[in-house]
């Protein structure tokens, strides 16, 4: 079954007709793989060159430094879809979106590498244990320090992490089914005259359901390790999401004026109020 909005997306990407459309997600997946490999490689560099004292000293910082580098690159790629819109439209006209969409998608997939990094046990990476004891300490679960037994600790983290991750995946699925891949791929950022106002109940619950999904999956990674590292890596993901929300909402305020400003004051961006839980789970049951 073809995804909702796929015809519109294909229409705006004439260069990628037929099976050539698969090139874009494949390129993005490769970017995510290389980004994750970069993160892991940076994590273990001190172990590969344990004779270099300086690397051992900075080892505890490398997971954060690597994540900040990938986050900055991802944001740069994604933001270029917004920031270079008028420039590329003046140069390429209706083909501007075709040029910029692969860049934006690559940035999104690089963000996925950050997400997987939160699930990674830094101290357990091969080829050997960390050379700096601080690295091991920052990578350990915090629950035993709070008095939770190790037997309960691991199962608690696995179960709770799975719940949040599944909720995130389900939210992405429902967003795709409800709004269509054309809206998810910001086609109408470049073709606003073809867009339609989305009036769905989920927007009375949360302003950005797709970004909520990313945050939920990030919380899953945070809980899965529940270490200082996973907390800090989640904070980086959250800041990336908030940065993108700020960029999008600036445009929405310009487009819809005071009406959107008032809406923003009434409905949270990423938080589901307890009184709206029922509507949220109804959205998750979306079938078409």
Which pLDDT band holds residue 63 (cuts at 50, 70, 90)? very high
Asked if residue 215 is part of any domain, the answer here is yes
Q: Is residue 1 part of a domain?
A: no
Average pLDDT of the chain is 92
Q: At what angle do helices 96-118 and 228-256 cross, to 10 degrees?
A: 150
| Structural domain includes residue 77 | yes
Instruction: Let me know if residue 243 belongs to a domain.
Output: yes
Whether the per-residue pLDDT at 57 is higher than 90: the answer is: yes
Residue 124 sits in which domain range?
Answer: 6-284
Examine residue 208 and state whether it is found in any structural domain, yes or no: yes
pLDDT digits (tens, 9 = 90+) for 99-150: 999 999 999 999 999 999 999 999 999 999 999 999 999 999 999 888 888 8
Q: Is 89 contained in some domain?
A: yes
In a domain, 152, yes or no: yes
What DSSP string describes 47-101? Answer: HHTTT-HHHHHHGGGHHHHHHHHHHHHHHHHHHHHHHTHHHHHHHHGGGHHHHHH
Total domains, the chain: 1
The rounded percent of the chain whose pLDDT value lies above 70 is 98
Higher local confidence (pLDDT), 172 or 4: 172
Give the model's pLDDT for residue 255: 82
Report yes or no on 23 lying in a domain.
Answer: yes
């Amino acid at each position: 079954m073809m995804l909702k909005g796929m015809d519109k997306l294909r229409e705006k990407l004439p260069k990628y007709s037929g099976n050539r459309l698969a090139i874009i997600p494949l390129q993005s997946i490769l970017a995510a793989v290389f980004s994750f490999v970069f993160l892991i490689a940076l994590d273990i560099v001190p172990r590969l060159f344990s004779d270099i004292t300086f690397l051992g000293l900075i080892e505890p910082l490398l997971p954060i430094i690597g994540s900040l580098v990938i986050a900055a690159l991802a944001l740069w790629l994604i933001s270029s879809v917004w920031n270079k819109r008028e420039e590329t439209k003046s140069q390429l006209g209706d083909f501007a979106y075709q040029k910029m969409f692969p860049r934006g998608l690559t940035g999104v997939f690089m963000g996925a590498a950050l997400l997987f990094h939160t699930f990674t046990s830094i101290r357990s990476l091969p080829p050997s244990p960390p050379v700096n004891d601080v690295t091991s300490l920052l990578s350990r679960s915090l629950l035993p320090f709070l008095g939770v037994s190790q037997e309960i600790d691991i199962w608690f983290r696995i179960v709770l992490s799975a719940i949040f991750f599944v909720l995130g995946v389900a939210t992405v699925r429902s967003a795709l089914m409800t709004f269509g891949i054309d809206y998810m791929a910001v086609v109408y950022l470049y073709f606003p005259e073809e867009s339609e106002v989305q009036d769905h109940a989920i927007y009375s619950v949360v302003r950005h359901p797709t970004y909520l999904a990313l945050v939920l999956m990030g919380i899953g990674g945070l809980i899965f390790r529940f270490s200082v590292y996973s907390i800090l890596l989640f904070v980086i993901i959250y800041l990336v999401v908030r940065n993108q929300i700020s960029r999008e909402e600036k445009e929405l305020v310009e487009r819809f004026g005071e009406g959107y400003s008032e809406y923003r004051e009434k409905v949270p961006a990423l938080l589901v109020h307890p009184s709206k839980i029922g509507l949220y789970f109804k959205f998750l049951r979306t079938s078409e």
